[in-house]
Amino acid sequence: MQRLLIDTDPGHDDAIAIFLALAYPEHCELGGITTVAGNQTLDKVTDNALKLLSFVGRPIPVARGAAAPLERPLATASAVHGESGLGGVELPKARYQPVPEPAVDFARRFLAASDEPATIVSIGPQTNLALLLRAFPEAKQRIGLVSFMGGGISHGNRTMTAEFNIYTDPEAAREVIGSGVSLVMSGLDVTEKAYIEEREIDSLKRRGPVSRLVAELLGFYAEVYRSRGLSSPALHDPCSIAYLIRPELFEAEDMYIDVETTGELTRGMTVADRRPGRSIDPNVRVLLDVDRHEFVELLFEGLGRLDREVEESGRNA
């Protein structure tokens, strides 16, 4: 079982990733959440995180992080996640407040208090993580693994070459990926294969309260995809959690990855050294494929667990 800290910008797929981590306590002990501006502003993503945790009755500590990237202005993803960041749903008011300390201090304290090196799941721009490593370089020894959603070695989504999380803060990503911590990358190469079909989304509507909430989230998210001529929405962020629970569902290759920060067409591109016989020593385990059916089964089993928990508690039934 891994002690986890999730750094996130909820975000439809972030919400599902958080639920997945909560659903498998035998694998993931979620000790805290830090929020970062990305999909939406810091205030909105923090409120969304608190609302999601309130919905499932889990008072996991939430610490507010960076309101903007290290060097660039924030450009949110309102077109994908809506003005609230969780477009398509009206969640009940959050019952919890964020902890008073900022994300970097919370993360440092979290890592110091963990008996074993902890796992950080980064599913938004990597601003908080870069600031943590700058302020407390010794934290690196307390991080066993960073499992992050970001990048891609064949194409982007925010631009032709760059994926949104890395594009939003390429300087932060370059510092984290170059820091020497152990990294597993769920880039677009794998996350776009981790899609969910309309019939699968529909089946969630006939289940408990958490499944129904996810069906609503995915209904909005799927509409955005359809408006772009894409049939099934990709569950990007949940890949970073699913890998921790069932790594055998994924195919991976160790590669050397660096991040472009200045290119006019390539800012935020995760550049992989795939030259035959001449690669630089790998620094990232890059996920390239996933057993989609088993991935969806893992998610549905987890949502079922949360459904039963919430129904038995009498909340949101």
| Residue 123 binds ligand RIB, judged by CB under 6 A | yes
Secondary structure (3-state) at 6: strand
Please identify which residue in the block is written with the tokens 């008073």.
Answer: 100
Secondary structure (3-state) at 68: coil
* The one segment of 7-15, 41-49, 94-102, 203-211 that binds ligand RIB by CB under 6 A: 7-15
Is 12 one of the annotated active-site residues of the chain?
no
Binding mask 223-242 toward Ca ion (x if CB under 5 A, else -) reads --------------x-----
Whether the Cβ atoms of residue 274 and residue 253 lie closer than 8 Å to each other = no
Whether the Cβ atoms of residue 110 and residue 99 lie closer than 8 Å to each other = no
Non-local CB neighbours of 146 within 8 Å, separated by 6+ positions? 119, 120, 121, 122, 129, 176, 181, 182, 183, 184
Sign for the CA dihedral angle at 98, 104, 105, 106 comes to positive
Pick one of ligand RIB, Ca ion, none as the site partner of residue 20 (Cβ within 5 to 8 A by kind).
none
| Residue 14 binds ligand RIB, judged by CB under 6 A | yes
Out of 127, 165, 232, 316, name the contact with ligand RIB by CB under 6 A. Answer: 165
At 200, list the tokens. Answer: 């699968």
Pick one of ligand RIB, Ca ion, none as the site partner of residue 46 (Cβ within 5 to 8 A by kind).
none
Whether the Cβ atoms of residue 40 and residue 68 lie closer than 8 Å to each other = no
Q: In sequence order, what E strands does the chain have?
A: 2-8, 28-35, 62-64, 118-122, 143-149, 183-186, 250-259, 270-273, 284-290
* The one segment of 6-14, 91-99, 105-113, 284-292 that binds Ca ion by CB under 5 A: 6-14
| Residue 156 binds ligand RIB, judged by CB under 6 A | no
Whether the Cβ atoms of residue 234 and residue 201 lie closer than 8 Å to each other = no
Whether the Cβ atoms of residue 258 and residue 171 lie closer than 8 Å to each other = no
| Residue 192 binds Ca ion, judged by CB under 5 A | no
| Residue 237 binds ligand RIB, judged by CB under 6 A | yes
| Residue in 27, 81, 155, 236 annotated catalytic | 236
| Residue 61 binds ligand RIB, judged by CB under 6 A | no
* β partners of residue 2: 28
For residues 130 and 310, which CB has a smaller minimum distance to Ca ion in the complex? 130
| Residue 11 binds Ca ion, judged by CB under 5 A | yes
Out of 14, 189, 260, 309, name the contact with Ca ion by CB under 5 A. Answer: 14
Q: Which residue's Cβ has the minimum distance to ligand RIB?
A: 164
* The one segment of 56-64, 157-165, 222-230, 243-251 that binds ligand RIB by CB under 6 A: 157-165
Please give the residue ranges that form the binding site for Ca ion (CB under 5 A). 9, 11, 14, 123-124, 237
List active site positions: 236
Please give the residue ranges that form the binding site for ligand RIB (CB under 6 A). 9, 11, 13-14, 38-39, 77, 123-124, 149, 157, 163-165, 236-237
